[in-house]
Chain A
Amino acid sequence: MQGFRFAISGFGIISACGNNISETISNFSSKKRNCGKLTLFNSNIECPVFEVKNFNSSSKNMRSLNLAFEAIKQALAESRLLEYKDSLRIGVSLGTTVASQLNDIDFYRNYKLKGEAPLDSVNRYLKGNLADAISRHFGFKGPRCTIVNACSSGTDAIGVGLSWLKADFCDAVICGGADELNLVPLAGFNSLGVVSNELCKPFDKNRKGLNLGEGAGIIIIEKEEICKKRGFSPDLFLNGYGLACDAYHLTAPRPDGSGLKKAIEKALTEAKIKPSEVSFVNAHGTATRDNDKTEGNVLKEIFGKDIKFLSTKGFTGHTLGAAGGIEAVFTALNLKLGWIPASAGFDEFDEEIGIAPVTDKTEIKGKYAISTSLAFGGNNSALVISRI
């Protein structure tokens, strides 16, 4: 029996893997990893990062907001939803980490050393709540919410959109995540000892940690009947969302992975599908020792050792609050394309994980795919996405 589903009528992407869908497909195909030295700000931490290049916005907004606008622009162009903004209740649900924090180091240094500081960055921050700024900019009339659930924020923002639609609080939702590279998370993850000074190697035996990245990934979900009524024939759908908490530790996943397992099972139950119907998983796969071990073991337990899976963080870096949005777009895109790229960075099988991601561009069959996110605070989230 089929569960509910909501149409995906558009998506947009900007990351180090490409500033739009076609660049992304090209880099996926050629396994090109656009990683390099940090140029956006100064730091003594030497590590590769995945910066978005050739992205010049004259706007004085926060960079995270500009990245969100870019991805939303692409998604809106595909969905043609703006034409209906006066007649539809359009919600905005966006995840982030950096854009939610008042963490401008120049402002704070001035305040600390001189006792006063210009408030430009404070004003930018106060105008930079992602969902609020986007919703007001376009004049949307639905609910708006910025999700700050750390690294699962993007996935959870899509889940919130789904909940709004199910509860009939709106007709369509612009959802996903956006985050910029910033000194605070770089110094923070470095202090936790999880930043690699080499290119990241998700699920690899010799993985040494994550590389940070930035970007935005947006999908537009809407009620199928409304989508069809306005002449759009959807071929991609959001079918389920699961969210569960570890209640274990502020920064480490519960070693038995039971929180992630619960989130995936909830998403499968909502979609009314069995694990065997899942054609691939876009895993969180940060390339940290703890995450990949826990996640790999859970995927093996639920889907079996032959499940096709990958981490796209080898192409984007860990984009924090944007990751769930970006990876949901990749999942939808790969379902549409009928193939997934190689899990960039993986070379050597890890017995502790007991399961290996795909190493080449791989054809996929079947209707359903899953995208997972794990986060600080013990959050675990999963989305089920399908194609016709």
Chain B
Amino acid sequence: MNINGVGIVFNRGRGIKSLENALAEGWKKPENDCYKIPEEIFSDPVIMRNMRRADNLSKMTVLAALDALNDGGLLEEDKESLGIILATAFGPHPTTFKFLDDIIEYGDKNASPTTFSHSVHNAAISYASIIIQNRGPTLTITHFVESFYQALILAESWLIEERCKNILVGVADEYGEVMRYICNKKLNIARDGKIKPFLFSKTPEVVPGEGSVFFLISKTEKAKYASIKFSCEIDKGNEVDLCVLDSDGMTGSEEYYLKLTKNYNYFASYTPLFGSILTGSAFSCLVSVLMIKNQKIYASPVTYNPYKINLCDKTETRKLNIISCVKYDCSGEKIEFFVTK
């Protein structure tokens, strides 16, 4: 799977330049214990003209997907064979709660049809299809932690069976007030605002985040950025240049990550830039893609390192062929894919 375009909307901005800036600047303290997307990022007058009623999940999805598509420079005729896959852990839950507000305040006979139509998980991708005018396969999936990984498997399937030649595959998740309440109840919020990905704690701390990342993947001979593989014919440890950990505190004990030190010898994590997001592996993937493209490693933004693992803590030019992206779920099951040159 070759990556030929990328798009991102997150707390620090929109677009790949914003991500590069964030990687250069490093960690920044979150506002109100979370990394929300600033409202001004949604102010694109041209795109938002057609999305006046849309919620933030739809807006971030459309912006990231459009940026990835434009970055890929897809020809008009290639759009005929374009597919779109969105993975989301929670979907448009703030809109669902808004709809429940209607029911509670006005009764179930008087709820808003507009709110209802936006509370459906695939509303975001529907907006993207309308704005892109994509008539090809369009699918939304949800699988909490594994959402992005499963979206990649599906995208690869569609390319192999030639259902599509080009696919926009990405994630979007939103943080809202009810989710804040749930996170406060169920998780340990990092009061210093720092996710500590190398602490490998049994009870890790989180800083909730939100955002959207999209990749334009294609079956082209060459990749503009990098390729994604599910397995690599390699002697692991010797040839993987870097292992990027998606440890962000969201899935319980992070002791599992310590196992990786047997197989890999150089580690990084960028979760403190984006915040804790169940679909966060897409953000880690994007940084890995950028590193392969630029042949440059970026300093991990937060480097508490009690186990003294070999950590990437400064930005420098480096030859990179294969980066492993790893996430462990609540049960300790490893989810891994590789970003390659």
| B178 and chain A: residue at smallest CB distance | A111
Q: Mark B180-223, 1 if CB is under 8 A from A, else 0.
A: 01100110000000000000000000000000000000000000
Q: At the interface, yes or no: A12 with Cβ under 8 Å from chain B?
A: no
Q: At the interface, yes or no: A44 with Cβ under 8 Å from chain B?
A: yes
Q: In the docked arrangement, what's the CA distance between A163 and B158, Å?
A: 7
- Chain B residues positioned under 8 Å from A169 (CB to CB): 153, 156-157
Contact A144 B146, beta carbon cutoff 8 Å? yes
- Chain B residues positioned under 8 Å from A116 (CB to CB): 181
Selecting from B11-19, B24-32, B103-111, B287-295, the interface stretch reads: B103-111
- Chain B residues positioned under 8 Å from A377 (CB to CB): 120, 122-123, 125-126, 129, 138, 140
Contact A376 B123, beta carbon cutoff 8 Å? yes
- Chain A residues positioned under 8 Å from B125 (CB to CB): 377
Contact B157 A245, beta carbon cutoff 8 Å? no
Q: At the interface, yes or no: A339 with Cβ under 8 Å from chain B?
A: no
Q: At the interface, yes or no: B264 with Cβ under 8 Å from chain A?
A: no
Contact B129 A378, beta carbon cutoff 8 Å? yes
Contact B186 A119, beta carbon cutoff 8 Å? yes
Expressed in whole angstroms, the minimum distance between the Cβ of A14 and any Cβ of chain B is: 23
Q: In the docked arrangement, what's the CA distance between A111 and B100, Å?
A: 12
Q: In the docked arrangement, what's the CA distance between A119 and B182, Å?
A: 8
Q: Mark A98-112, 1 if CB is under 8 A from B, else 0.
A: 001111010011011
Interface residues of A in 115-137 (CB under 8 A from B): 116-117, 119, 122, 126, 129, 131-132, 136
Contact A102 B93, beta carbon cutoff 8 Å? yes
- Chain A residues positioned under 8 Å from B160 (CB to CB): 166-168
Q: At the interface, yes or no: A143 with Cβ under 8 Å from chain B?
A: yes
Contact B135 A245, beta carbon cutoff 8 Å? yes
Q: Mark B117-136, 1 if CB is under 8 A from A, else 0.
A: 11111110111011011111
Q: At the interface, yes or no: B141 with Cβ under 8 Å from chain A?
A: yes
Contact partner of B142 among A108, A148, A160, A248, CB < 8 A?
A148
Contact A132 B121, beta carbon cutoff 8 Å? no
Q: In the docked arrangement, what's the CA distance between A189 and B109, Å?
A: 10
Contact B96 A245, beta carbon cutoff 8 Å? no
Interface residues of A in 359-388 (CB under 8 A from B): 375-379
Q: At the interface, yes or no: A146 with Cβ under 8 Å from chain B?
A: yes
Given A131-B143, A247-B133: A167 and B156 within 8 A (CB)?
yes
Contact A147 B140, beta carbon cutoff 8 Å? yes
Q: In the docked arrangement, what's the CA distance between A126 and B93, Å?
A: 13
Expressed in whole angstroms, the minimum distance between the Cβ of A234 and any Cβ of chain B is: 21
Given A132-B146, A167-B160, A188-B111: A102 and B90 within 8 A (CB)?
yes
Contact B100 A184, beta carbon cutoff 8 Å? yes
- Chain B residues positioned under 8 Å from A129 (CB to CB): 142-144
Given A119-B186, A145-B150: A108 and B178 within 8 A (CB)?
yes
| B144 and chain A: residue at smallest CB distance | A129
Q: At the interface, yes or no: A342 with Cβ under 8 Å from chain B?
A: no
Q: Mark A232-270, 1 if CB is under 8 A from B, else 0.
A: 000000000001111111110000001100100000000
- Chain B residues positioned under 8 Å from A250 (CB to CB): 117-118, 123, 126-127
Q: Mark B48-86, 1 if CB is under 8 A from A, else 0.
A: 000000000000000000000000000000000000100
Chain A: how many interface residues by the 8 Å CB criterion? 65
Contact A147 B129, beta carbon cutoff 8 Å? no
Contact A188 B119, beta carbon cutoff 8 Å? yes
Expressed in whole angstroms, the minimum distance between the Cβ of A189 and any Cβ of chain B is: 8
Given A102-B90, A109-B104, A259-B135: A148 and B141 within 8 A (CB)?
yes
Contact B139 A149, beta carbon cutoff 8 Å? yes
Contact partner of B101 among A43, A112, A131, A262, CB < 8 A?
A112
Q: At the interface, yes or no: B235 with Cβ under 8 Å from chain A?
A: no
For A105, A117, A163, A249, the residue with the greatest tally of chain B CB atoms inside 10 Å of its CB is A163
- Chain B residues positioned under 8 Å from A147 (CB to CB): 139-141
Expressed in whole angstroms, the minimum distance between the Cβ of B254 and any Cβ of chain A is: 18
Contact A247 B140, beta carbon cutoff 8 Å? no
Q: At the interface, yes or no: A164 with Cβ under 8 Å from chain B?
A: yes
Contact A148 B122, beta carbon cutoff 8 Å? yes
- Chain A residues positioned under 8 Å from B111 (CB to CB): 187-188, 190-191
Expressed in whole angstroms, the minimum distance between the Cβ of A2 and any Cβ of chain B is: 17
- Chain B residues positioned under 8 Å from A375 (CB to CB): 122
Contact partner of B143 among A44, A103, A132, CB < 8 A?
A132
Q: At the interface, yes or no: A156 with Cβ under 8 Å from chain B?
A: yes
Q: Mark B143-156, 1 if CB is under 8 A from A, else 0.
A: 11010001001101
- Chain A residues positioned under 8 Å from B122 (CB to CB): 148-150, 375-377, 379
Q: At the interface, yes or no: B332 with Cβ under 8 Å from chain A?
A: no
Contact A247 B132, beta carbon cutoff 8 Å? yes
Given A108-B100, A167-B156, A250-B123: A245 and B137 within 8 A (CB)?
yes
- Chain A residues positioned under 8 Å from B224 (CB to CB): none
- Chain B residues positioned under 8 Å from A9 (CB to CB): none
Q: At the interface, yes or no: B116 with Cβ under 8 Å from chain A?
A: yes
Q: At the interface, yes or no: B99 with Cβ under 8 Å from chain A?
A: yes
Expressed in whole angstroms, the minimum distance between the Cβ of B209 and any Cβ of chain A is: 18
Contact B161 A44, beta carbon cutoff 8 Å? no
Q: At the interface, yes or no: A15 with Cβ under 8 Å from chain B?
A: no
Expressed in whole angstroms, the minimum distance between the Cβ of B335 and any Cβ of chain A is: 11
Interface residues of A in 16-68 (CB under 8 A from B): 43-45
Q: In the docked arrangement, what's the CA distance between A244 and B88, Å?
A: 21
- Chain A residues positioned under 8 Å from B266 (CB to CB): none
- Chain B residues positioned under 8 Å from A193 (CB to CB): 113
Q: At the interface, yes or no: B42 with Cβ under 8 Å from chain A?
A: no
Q: At the interface, yes or no: A183 with Cβ under 8 Å from chain B?
A: yes
Q: At the interface, yes or no: B256 with Cβ under 8 Å from chain A?
A: no
Interface residues of A in 148-170 (CB under 8 A from B): 148-150, 156, 160, 163-164, 166-169
Q: In the docked arrangement, what's the CA distance between A105 and B127, Å?
A: 27
Given A102-B96, A247-B132, A377-B125: A44 and B181 within 8 A (CB)?
no
Q: At the interface, yes or no: A186 with Cβ under 8 Å from chain B?
A: yes
Q: At the interface, yes or no: A1 with Cβ under 8 Å from chain B?
A: no
Contact B108 A243, beta carbon cutoff 8 Å? no
Contact B99 A188, beta carbon cutoff 8 Å? yes
Q: Which 9 A-B pairs have the closest CB atoms?
A: A188-B116, A377-B126, A148-B121, A167-B157, A167-B160, A163-B157, A245-B138, A191-B113, A187-B108
Give 16 CB contacts A-B under 8 Å: A44-B109, A97-B120, A108-B178, A122-B182, A122-B186, A131-B143, A143-B153, A146-B141, A148-B91, A148-B141, A156-B139, A193-B113, A243-B137, A250-B127, A251-B113, A259-B135
